Every structure is written in C-alpha cells, then in structure tokens.
Amino acid sequence: MKQLFGFLLVLFLSTGSIYAQDVVSINSGDTAWMLIATALVMLMTPAGLALFYGGLTQNKHVLNTIGMSYMAFCTGTIVWVIAGYSLAFGEGNAWIGDFSHFLLADIGVNDVSGSIPSLLFVVFQGTFAAIAVAIVSGSVIERVRFSTWGVFSVIWVLAVYAPIAHWVWGGGFLSNSGEMDFAGGTVIHINAGVAGLVLSYLVGKRKGHSLEEVRKPSSIKFMVLGSALLWFGWFGFNGGSQLAADGVAANAILVTNIAATAGALIWLTIEWFIVKKPTLIGMASGAISGLVGITPASGFVDTSGALAIGIISGIVGYWGVVHLKSMVNHDDTLDAFGIHGLVGIAGALLTGVFANPAVNGGAGLLFGNPGQVLVQAKAVIITIVFSAVATAIVWKLSELITRGGRINEELELEGMDIGYHGEHHMVVEENKILN
C-alpha cells in the first residue's frame, strides 16, 4: 500500500510539473504586448496608409485610392491564413515553405511560438503581408482597374511576398546567412517599393502625367493624419518584431521614434533652404522615410545609429522623390519606390554599418565587422531581382485573368470615384452648395 501511495504521489507531482511547464511556456506579458502590437500594425493599412495615400491623390480618385489599401488588407489577410503563412513559415525547403499549415488546420489555440500563442504570431505576420501589398498600390493609383488590383494582391502575396518572407524569417536560405532584417527592410519595403516601380512601368503613365493638376493632393490634412497613424502603428511594427516585451523591444520603439523625427526635420530643412517653402507634405514624407530606414535596423542599433539612419533616410527619400523621379521620368504616383524602395535599400545597408552588438548581439562596420555590409548587400540584390521579375509575371497573369489591367482614358479623366465606384467623397458638400 505504501508503495502504491508513493507511486501515485510521484505521478501526481510529475504531472503537475509538466502542467506547470505548459502554463509558463506562454508568457502573459509577452502575449499582452504582442496583442497590442498586432492591433497597432493592423491600424496602419486600412487607416494610416489609406489616409496617407488618399490625401495625396487627386480629388476624383480619393475613394478608389483608399479602397485599394482597404481591399489589399482584406485580400492579404484572407490569402495569408489560407496559404500565405504556410508558404512563408512552413518547413518546406530553402526556397519556399510547404502546405503543412494550410488554412491553419494544424495550429491549435494552445500551441506556442516562442513565448506567445502560435495563432498570435500568425495574425501579427499577416498584418505585415497585408501592408506590403498595399504599399505597392501607391505606384499605380488613378489608372488601374479595381478588379485587376484585387487579383494581383492575392497572387502577389503568395508568389512574391511569401517566398521572400520564407528566405529571411522562415528558415530559408537567407535565414542563416547573417542578414539583419529586424522588422522587414527587405521583406516589406524593398520588396514593395521595387514591385511598385515595376508596375509603374508596366501600367504606364497617367494621362497628363506632366501637368500640374495631376499633382495636386486632395487633402494635406488627411495625408498628415495618415502619416501620424502610420508612425503610431510603426511602434507595433518594429517593437512587436522582437516577439517579446523586453529591452530589445523598448529599444526598437525608442530608435523608431528618433529616426522618424530626424527624417521629418531633415526633409523640412532641405526644403527650407532649397525651395524656401517648408511644407507639411515634406515633413510627413520625411517622417515616413525615417521610419522605413530604421525598420531593418530597429533591433540592432542604438540612439546615435538611429539618429544617423533617420537623417540619411530623409536625405535619400527627398532625393528619390524630387530628383531621381525627374531623372528617370517614371510615373510612380505616390513614390512607393522613392520612399519605400530606395530608402529601404539605404536602411538595409546602413544596418550593416551601425549595428551595435551591445543592443542585440549583431555587429556592423563601425563595430569591427565590415563584412556585414556585404551580407546586407547580398540580401538587397536578391530581393530586388526576385521582386522585379516575379512582380512582372504576376501582373501579366493578373491582366490575363481580368482581361486588361488599365482603365480606359474616359474613366481616368472622369475619375475612378464616380465613374467606377459610383461614389464621391465630396457629395455632401456639393449637395449643400446646390441647395
């Protein structure tokens, strides 16, 4: 009897120990922070980016522009949970994941990734996929069929975004190459910026591209508000990429804020000295440039590194939008390449310069590891080439499916809001005037 009692006691204690291990494997603090971070990143696309892009476009295309970001978030999210997550984070091989997580069928509510629920990791990463494809829309608004854009956004997440995410974060061939991309410099910004540039050439210029009226923003107020919402959401974007509520996440938020403010002020200063007119559009664009530049570096650099990256990002963004765009004469409507692609490239390379081992273990050029710049450059080049080629193929396929990707000239001149959607954001005000 004593032996039986002893056996039952040991069994009870061991079971309790196993149960305790299961409970502590999910850290409530980390989970709470990641729930908040996910909500912050979600806010960036259907609110922040939609208002930022919508404020910059012409009056007659505002709702269509907002709708492209809104739909991109919807399609990106659905595609992500069906197959995108599995292709990005499934075991697969060095190039692509598999379908082991198709429709998340094998991920339960009690499964854990690190110290947070696996389902929380899924939805957090899904917000990244959605904003990546939404960024692309900025290059081709005011002239693309809504149906073609919807098809493109579905295929692009699967065929372009998911593979690059797998290479860098999901165990692919860049995962162990030593590249530093904390929150998506290559995966999101370079990828989306290059994709936007390719589409701008494939779709062609807007009618009257060189005319002043097509450059008049519909609402600077909305644009600035959108940039502020993006800035707010970026704390979850970068801080959440640590997947824990710890010092590295706190540092990521700190350096994110520093780089954004530095980018805003340097762009404003450049305008002040060159054109003698410091604009709110310029200041907001500078802030977004700083945020893009710091994204890959946010988990690896200190305050001084963030300040340098913010300043350089503001300069690069200004040059890309004002000078490079004029030099190559392409119609990247809202400068997805100039701000996201070009600044994303700069940020990825600068991560290899300013990474401080005291922050998160990785060392850059200034801390005795010049080879890190070459590692960063390799990932940048691979991302550019793949994104450009794959995006071109996806667009051609989307055009084939929808029988054409560009709207006709009459609709473009009339405006997508009334001519395509049957809506107008000024209808209330116009009715008041008529009455």
Do residues 179 and 173 touch, judged by C-beta distance below 8 A?
no
Number of residues assigned to the chain:
435
The pTM of the full predicted model, rounded to 2 decimals, is 0.91
In whole angstroms, what is the distance from residue 12 CA to residue 377 CA?
Answer: 56
Which ranges of 275-341 does DSSP label H, i.e. alpha helix?
Answer: 280-294, 303-318, 325-328
Do residues 233 and 43 touch, judged by C-beta distance below 8 A?
yes
Q: Which residues pair with 117 in a beta bridge?
A: 112
In whole angstroms, what is the distance from residue 42 CA to residue 217 CA?
Answer: 25
**E strand or H helix that includes residue 419:** helix 416-419
pLDDT of residue 211: 61
Residue pLDDT, tens place only, 257-303: 999 999 999 999 999 999 999 999 999 999 999 999 999 999 999 99
**Which among 113, 111, 122 has a CA at the least distance from the CA of 82?**
122
pLDDT of residue 327: 86
Q: Which residues pair with 116 in a beta bridge?
A: 113
pLDDT of residue 10: 42
pLDDT of residue 9: 43
In whole angstroms, what is the distance from residue 126 CA to residue 260 CA?
Answer: 24
CATH code that applies to domain 30-426: 1.10.3430.10
Question: Apex CA 227: angle with CA 226 and CA 233, to 5°?
Answer: 90
**Predicted confidence pLDDT, tens digits, the chain (435 residues):** 555 445 444 434 444 443 334 444 899 999 999 999 999 999 999 999 999 999 999 999 999 999 999 999 999 999 999 999 999 999 999 999 999 999 999 999 999 999 999 999 999 999 999 999 999 999 999 999 999 999 999 999 999 999 999 999 999 999 888 999 999 999 999 999 999 999 999 999 988 766 655 568 999 999 999 999 999 999 999 999 999 999 999 999 999 999 999 999 999 999 999 999 999 999 999 999 999 999 999 999 999 999 999 999 999 999 999 998 888 878 999 999 999 999 999 999 999 999 999 999 999 999 999 999 999 999 999 999 999 999 999 999 999 999 999 999 889 888 888 988 988 766 444 444 334
Question: Apex CA 38: angle with CA 40 and CA 153, to 5°?
Answer: 90
Q: What is residue 412's three-state secondary structure?
A: helix
Joined tokens for residue 250: 């706190």
Longest dimension (CA), the chain: 95
In whole angstroms, what is the distance from residue 387 CA to residue 163 CA?
Answer: 10
pLDDT of residue 210: 63
> How buried is 392 (Cβ within 10 angstroms: 0-12 exposed, 13-18 middle, 19+ buried)?
middle
In whole angstroms, what is the distance from residue 379 CA to residue 381 CA?
Answer: 6
Do residues 155 and 394 touch, judged by C-beta distance below 8 A?
yes
In whole angstroms, what is the distance from residue 343 CA to residue 313 CA?
Answer: 6
Residue with tokens 């910059």: 56
pLDDT of residue 2: 54
Q: How far is CA 68 from CA 45, 53, 63, 196, 379, in A?
A: 10, 10, 9, 14, 29
In whole angstroms, what is the distance from residue 142 CA to residue 150 CA?
Answer: 15
Q: Which residues pair with 317 in a beta bridge?
A: none
Joined tokens for residue 92: 């697969």
pLDDT of residue 1: 52
Residue pLDDT, tens place only, 305-354: 999 999 999 999 999 999 988 888 789 999 999 999 999 999 999 999 99
Residues 6+ apart with CB under 8 A from 403: none
